[in-house]
Amino acid sequence: MLTGITGITGALALGAPARAARKGPERPVNILFAIADDWGYPDAGAYGSRAARTPTFDRLADEGALFTRAFCAAPSCTPSRNAILTGQAPHRLEAGANLWSELPATFDVYPDLLQQAGYRVGRMRKGYGPGVFPQWPHNPAGPGFPSFGEFLGQQPEQTPFCFWLGSSDPHRPYDPELGEQSGIDPAAVDVPPYLPDTPEVRTDIVNYLAEVQRFDSEVGDALRLLDEHGLAENTIVVMTGDHGWPWPRAKANTYDAGTRVPLAVRWPGRAAPGTVIDRLTLLSDLAPTFLDAAGLSTPPAMTGQSLLPALSGTAAPRGFVVVERERHALAREGNLAYPVRALRTDRWLYIRNFFPERWPAGDPDFDLGLQGVFGDIDAGRTKTQLLENRHRPGFAKAFQLATAKRPAEELYDLASDPHSLKNLADEPRQTAVKTRLRKQLQNWMLRTDDPRAIDPRTDFWDKVEYYG
Ligand SMILES: [Ca+2]
């Protein structure tokens, strides 16, 4: 029986008559969402990483579902998190498509919708953001708590909860001591072909992986708390990162290095242990999933899709997902954005750069001090070494890949070129593929009310205030 839980009974009855008959927990399911900051695919043991030790992530995958083709909606903190919270594509969120912006309070976010349905909501550390939220009573990801333990300690027994565990790992800057103490062997890390393979870069990667492991350990503590409180069986646990790793040609880019993320979902009774899901998935699917789990329907504004069918193996194939980009850092004269839409299928990546005359990583001579020139690349050892050696053999190609201007269209065959190094957009034998993908992207943009579908060179996001 679901009676006695004020506010949630009606919602459950409305959304899932069949579910009430399911064998399993009768109480509404709790939601624990653990999100890292800049943790990219495939840096987890479950994906075969030789260097990263992620026992918590691997355990969630073993006990639930591992997603192998999950993508953020935008390779930048604020718009990615906004898409998670609202279940919508960033271009629908006005200023919220930019880094360090403001999310208008007119947009519904899933923690509020769950709270209205009777859930108790909380968050620790990095939630929505970076950005400002003057119209909201608290961070849109939920009211802040010092820790998950403190939140759980105050949890009434008959009330379901929704908690956002937001880490700042593995965002730069890195502590070299943590890297040294991690015991990760620099010889064991994988250096992708778009980076120079140097001891400096390998050390940088070790320092990043050490923070990945710290995040993993922190989520492990949260799982232990669930066990101690007897809540593990009735709690969905989702573990992921907001976008790809903070390296040149990765974060802030729509190649897989910037957009593909680890994702594991443990949901006892719903996702069979050891499930592997290769279906294309977007982090904006999480909001509809959480609402679905609570028996609530998906609001029409949400462009994401509930993952429940995928978790139970009944989802239809998904032809593509779209990731996008507006303004990341202040990296260009006039604070201009570098707008991109990218359509990703199982095999192809088609990219539309709306301003090919602009510099994708930022102007070469525009330096506001924080990130240096090419401000869309986070400052760090790899960037410093790349810039200092940009004219030398062994570095010049990586420098060009990260910073050089790009054509209006890019097309990559990921089956043979997983790192998107060879642009096929001008190859005559790929014209049919390019035309088909271009049309699919344009139709999707129209369908989701993307301002760039009608006015490809709108300056709306160039003019949005930057609060960093
Ligand atoms: Ca981030």
Q: Where are the domains of the chain?
A: 29-315, 323-463
For residues 462 and 451, the answer to whether their CB atoms sit within 8 Å is no
Over the stretch 243-299, which tens digit does the pLDDT of each residue have?
999 999 999 999 999 999 999 999 999 999 999 999 999 999 999 999 999 999 999
How many angstroms does the Cα of residue 38 sit away from the middle of ligand 1?
4
Helices (H), 248-285: 256-259
How many angstroms does the Cα of residue 390 sit away from the middle of ligand 1?
26
Which positions ≥6 away from 177 have C-beta within 8 Å?
Answer: none
Whether pLDDT at 20 is above 60:
no
How many angstroms does the Cα of residue 171 sit away from the middle of ligand 1?
7
Helices (H), 198-296: 199-228, 256-259, 286-293
CATH class of domain segment(s) 29-315: alpha beta
Work out the average pLDDT over 440-461: 98
How many angstroms does the Cα of residue 108 sit away from the middle of ligand 1?
22
How many angstroms does the Cα of residue 46 sit away from the middle of ligand 1?
21
| Residue 279: other Cβ atoms inside 10 A | 18
Q: Is 69 helix (H, G, I), strand (E, B) or coil?
A: strand
Over the stretch 340-355, which tens digit does the pLDDT of each residue have?
999 999 999 999 999 9
Q: Is 48 helix (H, G, I), strand (E, B) or coil?
A: coil
For residues 351 and 309, the answer to whether their CB atoms sit within 8 Å is no
CATH class of domain segment(s) 323-463: alpha beta
How many angstroms does the Cα of residue 58 sit away from the middle of ligand 1?
22
How many angstroms does the Cα of residue 77 sit away from the middle of ligand 1?
4
How many angstroms does the Cα of residue 419 sit away from the middle of ligand 1?
20
Average pLDDT, the chain: 94
Cis peptide before 176 (omega within 30 of 0): no
How many angstroms does the Cα of residue 11 sit away from the middle of ligand 1?
33
- Predicted pLDDT of residue 15: 34
Compute the 3-state secondary structure of the chain and give helix, strand, coil in percent, each to the nearest 5.
35, 15, 50
Over the stretch 44-99, which tens digit does the pLDDT of each residue have?
999 999 999 999 999 999 999 999 999 999 999 999 999 999 999 999 999 999 99
How many angstroms does the Cα of residue 163 sit away from the middle of ligand 1?
19
Amino acid at 29: V
How many angstroms does the Cα of residue 5 sit away from the middle of ligand 1?
37
- Predicted pLDDT of residue 169: 98
How many angstroms does the Cα of residue 244 sit away from the middle of ligand 1?
8
